[in-house]
Amino acid sequence: MGEVIVVTSGKGGVGKTTTTANLGAGLALMGRRVALVDADIGLRNLDVVLGLENRIVYDITDVTGGHCRLRQALIKDKRFEGLFLLPAAQTKDKTAVSPEQMKALCAELKEEFDFVIIDCPAGIEQGFKNAIAGAEKAIVVTTPEVAAVRDADRVIGLLEAAELRDPKLIINRIRPRMVRAGDMMSIEDIVDILAVDLLGVIPEDEMVVISTNRGEPIVQDEHSRSGQAYRNIARRILGEQVPLMNLDEGGFLARLWRRMIRG
Amino acid sequence: MKRGTPEVEDNTILIRRTLRSGQKVYYDGHVVILGDVNPGAEVVATGNVIVMGTVRGVVHAGAGGNEKAMVLAFRLEPIQLRIANHITRSPDGPLQKPTGPEVARIKNGVVTIEAYSP
């Protein structure tokens, strides 16, 4: 019996889809069977980030509408053994699925997978309500921006109202140098306001842009710091105690060295 | 302690959680919060508002016109603070953070914030 986790944020563009893809791939790398569900109906992206867009035949609305069996709609990942994607529909909208259907779908998926990770759409309307309906745990993603933290706070309140207690926090795209200069909110500032457990911190990394555009999750890149951060989070989800990584970028030589080994 | 007590009925509600963005409490009486009032949250009371935590959102004490109402918090950093019909807002630009409990009340017709001493 698996765990159903929803990845949400309130605000758009903070990295929900990237996080979903990388956590799924990371957990699959560690030998778990993982199903990723794209709940962003009408604006599907998760398939693109995973590089699986060309394999879509059926989508989530075909499953809930009874047009195909769940197994037919699940796309097996081309690189990671044990990773599957249930894509969203692109030609429908959020009303195409109901919270009850999502609950039933999640219940069916968790029979077969160790982890079911749901990529929630931005916003707090129907799409959000659908995405959280079948979830047992929640991960809230935010960036160190006042607006994103405000929205994360709103979403945590809504999750608690929906009986999804103790959500875990991921802070994405932090720039240690800007934090040191006092130009960016620090990890402490954010945790102080949101008052939830910190699951991990992802440093700002250009490689993430490249990897999402290529459809290759960064988590498999041994040399990237953000990939390391995602692997650490995957290990924490599996119950390991992994300390937060040192976010210091190091001096010029250290950065040059990393760039060289990265090739 | 009768000092500063408004003339409303002494009904008091105890809220044992942090109010997050989008959450609102309205109460006809006093409100005591064991937690924070985050930005985007709102507390409105006809009596006093006491927050055992940090106020970063909007608080309104003495709603309905009680000029003797007050707001007391461990850390008072509200976006906006209202007492009776007076509306004050946080200063524009960088502000110095409070280091201890503070109380806001109307003095000589102006909302005044002072360090709290029991």
pLDDT tens digit sequence for A144-175: 999 999 999 999 999 999 999 999 999 999 99
Query: Residue A250's pLDDT is what?
Result: 59
- Report pTM: 0.88
Chain-wide mean pLDDT for chain A? 94
Q: Which residues of A touch B (CB under 8 A)?
A: 150-151, 153-154, 156-158, 160, 193, 195
3-state SS string for A31-98: CCCEEEEECCCCCCCHHHHCCCHHHCCCCHHHHHCCCCCHHHHCEECCCCCCEEEECCCCCCCHHHCC
Residue A258 confidence (pLDDT) above 80: no
- State both tokens at A227: 């990939």
Query: Residue B2's pLDDT is what?
Result: 46
Domain count, chain B: 1
Query: Residue B118's pLDDT is what?
Result: 83
Query: Residue A249's pLDDT is what?
Result: 63
Residue whose tokens read 């044992």: B16
How much of chain B, in percent, has pLDDT values that exceed 90? 81
Residue A256 confidence (pLDDT) above 90: no
Residue B5 confidence (pLDDT) above 70: no
CATH C-level class of A3-262: alpha beta
- Structural domain includes residue B60: yes
- Write down the domain spans for chain A: 3-262
B53: contact with A, CB 8 A cutoff:
no
B38: contact with A, CB 8 A cutoff:
yes
Residue A251 confidence (pLDDT) above 60: no
- Its domain, for residue B85, covers 12-115
Q: CATH number, domain at B35?
A: 2.160.20.70
Question: Do B22 and A157 count as a contact with CB atoms less than 8 A apart?
Answer: yes
Would you place residue A246 in the very low, low, confident or very high pLDDT band (cuts 50, 70, 90)? confident
Would you place residue A247 in the very low, low, confident or very high pLDDT band (cuts 50, 70, 90)? confident
Q: How many CB atoms lie within 10 A of CB A195?
A: 15
Residue A255 confidence (pLDDT) above 80: no
Question: Do A195 and B18 count as a contact with CB atoms less than 8 A apart?
Answer: yes
SS3 A116: strand
Residues of B in contact with A145 (CB under 8 A): none
Would you place residue A248 in the very low, low, confident or very high pLDDT band (cuts 50, 70, 90)? confident
Query: Residue B96's pLDDT is what?
Result: 80
Would you place residue B95 in the very low, low, confident or very high pLDDT band (cuts 50, 70, 90)? confident
Tell me which of A195 and B8 has the higher pLDDT.
A195
- State both tokens at A185: 């909110």
Q: Which helix (H) or strand (E) holds A179?
A: helix A176-180
